Amino acid sequence: MKCPGLYCGRELLADGEWGECGACPRGFRANQSSFCLPCQDKPVFYDWLYLGFMTFLPLVLHWFFIDNTTPFRGRLSGGAVALHACALVETCAAAVGTVLLVKPFGSLEIQSCSVQSLSDWYTLFHNPRPNYTHTLHCTQEAVYPLQTMVFIFYSLAVVIMLAVRPWLVHCCLLKTGSGTIYAALYFFPILALFHSVFGGLIYYTFPYIVIVLSVISNAAHFAFKMDQSMQFLIKNTVSDIRNIVIVIGHWLVHAYGIVALTQMTQPVFHLSLLCLVPVPALFYVATARFTDPHKLHSD
């Protein structure tokens, strides 16, 4: 007999019989017949892009706070480069460790349950009430392991950061790099909270989020320049290694958003869209002189 609700299922017992309707164990999901079957799918391309987004998001935040921490603000010093490299190593180590900690353990492969709808991320809100008498609790991770992997990654990232970065700060960057650690201890819990509440929405909208934020951030980078003339913006960008890195970083993020949005289902056409990646930066440089507030005057 089929169980009520979208996610309730029967677990196979040791005696070969099927148990009562309830939540499937972690790593299992109820099929159309309400039998709890193990997750044996492979993450699709979009799933990997989502995990990549959730990985580079804290890395970008690390780099942002490092770049805006005194005395590194606005310049690419040796101390800033060391902290940037340290953050990259921490993030990569946490990402690899996360993959190794999910089934099959110790392997870089992942067994998952495919995402079918937005409700898969919010099974808590789909517990049925048979005959309106009692609630049958069937809350589970229907998108295993996409939801818990992010929490594992955040936990490992914090542990690795606390194990590595204080030594770097103490030995090489005394009194200058500790602020980046405190910043991470603030934004990691915030990211975890956002993931727990908005994980499903982020899964379906992150390509748009990436594209929009990359355009806004790119414009903000140029807007902070005091001289908004085309000649200065171009010269300042190509003559400063820090500005080159920032602009290229924006382009890579923008390209990532396009790849995630299109999923390269039509390779020739979608690859041609990557040629549009520099357009926001070029458009800003070309039109900045028309929006410079210093050139506005009243008659």
Work out whether the CA dihedral 240, 242, 245, 251 comes out positive or negative.
negative
Report helix, strand or coil for 254: helix
Q: Quick count: other Cβ atoms within 10 Å of Cβ 12? A: 13
Instruction: Judge contact between 233 and 291, C-beta under 8 A.
Output: no
Token couple for 129: 């009430």
pLDDT at 299: 44
What are phi and psi for residue 146, nearest 5 degrees?
A: -60, -30
pTM of the model: 0.91
- State the virtual CA torsion across 252, 256, 259, 263 in degrees, nearest 10: 160
Q: How many CA atoms lie within 13 A of 50 on its CB side?
A: 21
pLDDT at 15: 87
pLDDT at 72: 66
Q: How far is CA 199 from the centre of its chain?
A: 10
Could you say which residues of the chain have pLDDT below 70? Answer: 70-75, 174-175, 292-299
Candidates 119, 101, 118; CA nearest to 110 is: 101
Q: Mark residue 74 as left, alpha or beta (left: phi above 0; alpha: psi -120 to 50; beta: remaining).
A: left
Instruction: Judge contact between 25 and 141, C-beta under 8 A.
Output: no
pLDDT at 74: 66
C-alpha span between 237 and 225 (Å, rounded): 10
Characterize the bridge pairing of strands 8-12 and 18-23. Answer: antiparallel
Report helix, strand or coil for 298: coil
C-alpha span between 214 and 276 (Å, rounded): 13
Question: Partners of 36 in the beta sheet?
Answer: 30
Work out whether the CA dihedral 262, 250, 62, 194 comes out positive or negative.
negative
